[in-house]
Structure 1
Amino acid sequence: MAALAGKHALVTGGGSGIGAAIARALAAEGAALSLVGRRKEPLEAMVKQLPKASAIVADITSGTECKAMAEAARAAHGAIDIVVANAGMAASAPASRIDAAHWQQMIGVNLTGAFNTAQAALADVTRQPGGRIVFVASTAGLKGYSYVAAYVAAKHGVIGLMRALSVELAAKGTTVNAVCPGFTDTPLLAGAVDTIISKTGRSADASRAELAKDNLHGRLITPEEVAQTVLYLCVPSSGSVNGQAIAVTGGPV
């Protein structure tokens, strides 16, 4: 039997990149999927590729919308067993030029959005032993990077949130972990490449190679590598892995 047969997973940012890869990996092990995002079209395109999935449009920075998101997920596939808080965004600026809007956007999407997502489904995932919450953070949650202070602060916050929830929910048999990818070949990375090109005049290939240097094996991470790590944290055999921030970056951080 598939490892996640009969399970219902909610994945935010599920329409592209890492989120889409996670959706495919979980579906391959039998899970029903509720895919959440701000844009309807990518979500619906993903739903067509999966055997049992639904699309939910929601803004995770809104607690009210996240409650409605969870209700829509339950209506589609029943109680939620797995939450993958994957949605996020990055923007760069020198610390001296970060304004309130930039700061609030990075914290709102990456940290508040992760909390809202988990909280909206908390009663479901803790209703019986075996619930799973996985935050897709970043190596930016484990170390510093120049020119992305707000993003780094938000991702460090996600790691702190994960650690707090892992202790709080352990007695209920719910595990809470984080996956921390290094530079990954996604649409989000394409934005970073464009920034490098505009500021340095380097080619796209040279810009991608520069980012890949931060991964110790010298190449970009694939979304599928991240997805397989998330999948491992969701299957029953990972029940004793809790409160961990797992780096997927080709080496130690």
Structure 2
Amino acid sequence: MVARRCLVTGAGRGIGAAVARRLAAQGHAVALTARSAGELDAVAAGLPGPALVVPADLTDPIAADAVVGAVERAWGGPVEVLVLNAGAGTSAPLARTTDEDWARMLDLNLTAPFRLLRRALPGMVEGGWGRVVAVASTAAKRGDPYVAAYTASKHGLLGLVRSAAAEVAGSGVTVNAVCPGYVDTPMTAATVATISTATGRTPEQARETLARRQPIGRLVDPDEVADAVLLCVGSAAITGQGINVDGGTVQS
């Protein structure tokens, strides 16, 4: 396998950290970005190969150029594998979703990936090879109550993936999304805490409620999401797809 220059966003924990470890285990050089420099340093220290830590707030309009440029300068070539994992969620009834909630979801979950993709894609096309994988959500494919802003941002992310994939088809570059359900990550832990506070259930009961929403009866492991990301990285024939990793919740 040819070693590639990779960039993983939201790489300090959860799915992003799992993907970074898997890419490094396959011999790739992995750059890590997120706001949390300490978490990134801890992940990088455990990687077996070349690692680069580039802390950034990806909602800053100049962050995409700064982060991708740092990788190019450090490793002497374009980003070849871009994993767009950074994201966040919020929950509120639609009528109580504020402009700030709406803007925050779009900025981090949709606009930041767009800017990174726009910055990295030309180098991939010029080189005749590239892989982009966005971590979306089952919320990209269905609507659930109380998550309108999050759902809109993830639907938009999947649309971005599909359009970009069509645009670069035939260039050697693929663009895909993976769509996890409830994954055993800090983001889900925050959801558990919100449910517990709102309903009076214990955290264990709230966690079990989420697990039962998936036909497999448990939360998805971050490494299981990383499996799907690595599938997209390894295949030249998969593009424009939103691959569900949700224990059978959404059948498509």
- Structure 1 and Structure 2 fold alike (TM over 0.5): yes
Corresponding residue for residue 146 of structure 2: 147
Is 1:156 the counterpart of 2:184? The answer is: no
User: Amino acid of the residue matched to residue 86 of structure 1?
Assistant: N
Corresponding residue for residue 63 of structure 1: 61
| Secondary structure of 1:132 counterpart | strand
Bigger CA drift: 149-158 or 127-136?
A: 127-136
Corresponding residue for residue 45 of structure 1: 42
Corresponding residue for residue 32 of structure 2: 35
User: Amino acid of the residue matched to residue 188 of structure 1?
Assistant: M
Bigger CA drift: 59-68 or 225-234?
A: 59-68
Contact 1:166–1:175 (CA under 8 A) maintained in structure 2: yes
C-alpha displacement at 1:103, in angstroms? 0.3
Corresponding residue for residue 4 of structure 2: 7
Corresponding residue for residue 213 of structure 1: 212
Q: Deviations over 1:179-223 (max 9, x none)?
A: 000000000001100101100111111101111122221110000
Number of aligned pairs?
A: 248
Q: Distance in 2 between matches of 1:23 and 1:163?
A: 24
Corresponding residue for residue 116 of structure 1: 115
C-alpha displacement at 1:128, in angstroms? 2.5
User: Amino acid of the residue matched to residue 70 of structure 1?
Assistant: V
Instruction: Give the RMSD, CA atoms, in angstroms.
Output: 1.0
C-alpha displacement at 1:66, in angstroms? 0.9
Q: 1:223-234 residue pairs with structure 2 within 5 A?
A: 223-234=222-233
Contact 1:15–1:37 (CA under 8 A) maintained in structure 2: yes
Corresponding residue for residue 18 of structure 2: 21
Q: Distance in 1 between matches of 2:84 and 2:142?
A: 20
Q: Distance in 1 between matches of 2:83 and 2:213?
A: 25
How many percent identity over aligned positions? Answer: 44
User: Amino acid of the residue matched to residue 248 of structure 2?
Assistant: G
Q: Deviations over 1:75-101 (max 9, x none)?
A: 222321100000000011110001110
User: Amino acid of the residue matched to residue 195 of structure 2?
Assistant: I
Q: Deviations over 1:126-175 (max 9, x none)?
A: 22233100000000001111111000000000010000000001121110
| Secondary structure of 2:238 counterpart | coil
User: Amino acid of the residue matched to residue 123 of structure 1?
Assistant: P
Contact 1:14–1:35 (CA under 8 A) maintained in structure 2: yes
Q: Which structure 2 segments of 5+ residues have no match?
A: none
Contact 2:181–2:249 (CA under 8 A) maintained in structure 1: no
Q: Distance in 1 between matches of 2:249 and 2:180?
A: 12
Q: Deviations over 1:24-78 (max 9, x none)?
A: 0111111100101011100111111112101101122223111011111112223
Q: Distance in 1 between matches of 2:196 and 2:248?
A: 27
TM-score, normalised via structure 2 length: 0.96
Contact 1:61–1:116 (CA under 8 A) maintained in structure 2: no
Q: 1:63-212 residue pairs with structure 2 within 5 A?
A: 63-78=61-76, 79-212=78-211
Corresponding residue for residue 241 of structure 1: 238
Q: Distance in 1 between matches of 2:168 and 2:213?
A: 34
Bigger CA drift: 215-224 or 114-123?
A: 114-123
| Secondary structure of 1:168 counterpart | helix
Superposed structure 1 runs of 4+ greater than 6 Å apart: none
Q: Distance in 2 between matches of 1:227 and 1:172?
A: 25
Q: Distance in 1 between matches of 2:203 and 2:6?
A: 36
Q: Deviations over 1:213-239 (max 9, x none)?
A: 22221110000000111011112xx10
Q: Distance in 1 between matches of 2:227 and 2:73?
A: 28
Q: Distance in 1 between matches of 2:195 and 2:226?
A: 27
Q: Distance in 2 between matches of 1:251 and 1:186?
A: 19
| Secondary structure of 1:63 counterpart | coil
C-alpha displacement at 1:6, in angstroms? 2.1
TM-score, normalised via structure 1 length: 0.95
